[in-house]
Amino acid sequence: MAQGWGLGALINLDHYGHYIQWHVIQISVANLIVIILMVATFVAALFAPFPGRRNRKGTK
Amino acid sequence: MSNAQIERQWTSRLRHRVVDKLPPERLLPDTQPAYVASWIYVFGVTTMAALGIVILTGIILALDGPQWWHSSSLGHFVNSMHLWSVEIFFFAMVVHLWGKFSMAAWRGGRSMTWVTGGVTFLASILAGFTGYVSQTNFDSQWISTQAKDGINSTGGGAFFNVLNLGQMLMWHIVLLPLAAVVLTGLHVIMVRVKGVVPPFDDNAEVSA
């Protein structure tokens, strides 16, 4: 119903899921993307500068 | 009644105990330690914000029974909000978990903070699972018929029947949200009592 707009307009989701298999390990591409995004967010959260951090030095 | 008698009452004793352990300025502090100014510290509150949206949209979905969202544009919208806030909830919670694991957040007598967070994660997984089997569509039928074999192999299927929509829905909208909210509340109280865990190189606190 909502295919004509939003995310459905950018990515065609109307098909069976894609899977990656390595021996006994099988994971859907969708889940793998989410895991990669979580790892990227985690690394970015560790190293990205936090706004106003310099002004907060010593706040206790 | 004398002051001494009043002080002996259980209400007075309980109040003193609570206020000693968690004074109002620590329960709702105005400032945080300098080391909290990092993106890695924002994922706990992101998880709670997402939980708020999950509960709010869940309440709206509950208003008109367990199927109406399939045939209503408003229902589709709220159902999608419910799904995507759950996605953000788990996404943020996992990053929060990795962050806290990497800084050994159980240091300094914070073991109960860690344990309540871990149990909240498990309760949330169960809440997510019961949600997927309560969708009242072919997807929920597929998931529940696959899951029943796994749960039956543990013997748990005798009590926890994933093919019973009524039971799954009750667990999803009453028992598990209650558990998640109570555990989250306890988790936050533990954070307030013990304080936010400092980074390893902060010498302000001795590691446990």
What ipTM, to 2 d.p.? 0.84
CA angle B41, A29, B88 (to 5 degrees): 30
Q: Could you tell me the pLDDT band of residue A56, with boundaries at 50, 70 and 90?
A: low
Residue A46 has pLDDT above 60, yes or no: yes
Closest by CA to B87, choosing from B128, B52, B57, B56, is: B128
User: Does the CB of B76 have a partner CB in chain A at under 8 Å?
Assistant: yes
CB contact under 8 A, B34 and A56: yes
Residues in chain B within 8 Å Cβ distance of A56: 34, 37
Amino acid sitting at position A34: V
- Report the C-alpha gap between B129 and B169 in whole angstroms: 11
CB contact under 8 A, B31 and A60: yes
Of A34, A38, A50, the CB nearest to B39: A50
pLDDT given at position B97: 97
Domains and CATH numbers, chain B: 41-194 (1.20.810.10)
Residues in chain A within 8 Å Cβ distance of B31: 59-60
Tens digit of each residue's pLDDT, chain B (208 residues): 888 888 889 999 999 999 998 888 888 888 888 889 999 999 999 999 999 999 999 999 999 989 999 999 999 999 999 999 999 999 999 999 999 999 999 999 999 999 999 999 999 999 999 999 999 999 999 999 999 999 999 999 999 999 999 999 999 999 999 999 999 999 999 999 999 998 887 655 544 4
Of B42, B76, B98, the CB nearest to A42: B98
CB contact under 8 A, A60 and B37: no
- Report the C-alpha gap between B171 and A27 in whole angstroms: 28
Instruction: Give the chain A residue nearest B34 (alpha carbons).
Output: A59
Q: Give the pTM.
A: 0.86
Of A2, A42, A52, the CB nearest to B99: A42
